[in-house]
């Protein structure tokens, strides 16, 4: 596996983890009614989006 493929794989894993944590935090925020957690979950969604854009740019 080349260094570029390893980097792309790592970025993909980070994007998936960010998206998963967005889901967890969003769910908890809705359950307990926390605006602070909701806004933090949106930040994880933004991080996942940036990682996906990086992956697109790498290809």
How does pLDDT run across 33-51, given as a tens digit for each residue?
Answer: 999 999 999 999 999 999 9
The model's pTM: 0.87
CA distance 25 to 22: 5
Render pLDDT for 11-35 as a digit per residue (tens, 0 to 9). Answer: 999 999 999 999 999 999 999 999 9
Domain boundaries, the chain: 3-58
CA distance 5 to 24: 29
The beta strand positions in 1-59, using DSSP E, are none
Q: Which of 39, 11, 7 is nearest to 26 (CA)?
A: 39
DSSP 22: H
Angle, CA of 22, 3 and 50, to the nearest 5°: 25
């Amino acid at each position: 596996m080349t260094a570029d493929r390893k980097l792309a794989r790592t970025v993909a894993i980070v994007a998936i983890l960010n998206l998963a944590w967005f889901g967890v935090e969003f769910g908890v925020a809705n359950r307990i009614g926390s605006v602070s957690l909701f806004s933090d979950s949106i930040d994880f969604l933004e991080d996942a989006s940036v990682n996906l854009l990086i992956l697109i740019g790498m290809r």
